[in-house]
Amino acid sequence: MKLHPKFGVNATIPLCFWCGKERNEVVLLGAAYRGEAPKNLCLDREPCDKCAANMAKGITIMEAREKHGPTGRWVVVTEEAVQRLFQPESTVEAVLRHRKAYMEPEVFQKLFGDHLTKE
């Protein structure tokens, strides 16, 4: 790692994209970050341990925009719910195999509403 000329290792604590809480990590950005790294920074879409554990309980449905990707809103549903929500059968099989699916915001809103918030 190349040190930042002014801020050295330039450390930050990453935030979970999915819940917005601090992950139990420290990332040394060094010169890869132009200025002084903020205390917290969302660096990727990797879930924190708690979100990963929740996602592992079923099938994760993530709200996503076509050009911008996931919005951060998500739910976990059962395999039975996937069979009711998705068509054709080949889509159901793919969602069950991958254990996750992306859904357009308008459809996600109709199905799951506004009551969902980041954990």
Query: Per residue in 30-87, pLDDT tens?
Result: 999 999 999 999 999 999 999 999 999 999 999 999 999 999 999 999 999 999 999 9
Residue 50 lies in a domain: no
**pLDDT at residue 106, as a whole number:** 95
pLDDT confidence of residue 52: 94
26 within some domain:
yes
For residue 16, what are the CA distances in angstroms to 13, 28, 72, 88, 102? 10, 17, 10, 33, 18
Token pair 């601090």 is at which residue? 22
The reply to whether 97 and 69 lie within a common domain is: yes
Q: Is 117 within a domain?
A: no
Q: Check residues 118 and 19 and name the one with the higher pLDDT.
A: 19
Q: Residue 13 belongs to what H/E stretch?
A: strand 11-14
Q: What is the pLDDT of residue 29?
A: 97
Maximum CA extent, the chain: 57
Q: Are strands 27-28 and 11-14 parallel, antiparallel or unpaired?
A: antiparallel
Q: CA 107, 19, 80, 95: dihedral to nearest 10 degrees?
A: 70
For all residues of the chain together, what is the average pLDDT?
A: 93
Cβ-contact 66, 37 below 8 angstroms: no
Q: Is residue 118 assigned to a domain?
A: no
Residue 100 within any structural domain of the chain = yes
Single pTM value for the model: 0.79
Q: How many domains would you assign to the chain?
A: 2
Pair 61, 107 in one domain = yes
How is residue 50 written in tokens?
């708690």
SS3 label, residue 38:
coil
Domain enclosing residue 67, as ranges: 57-112
Is residue 64 located within the same domain as residue 32? Answer: no
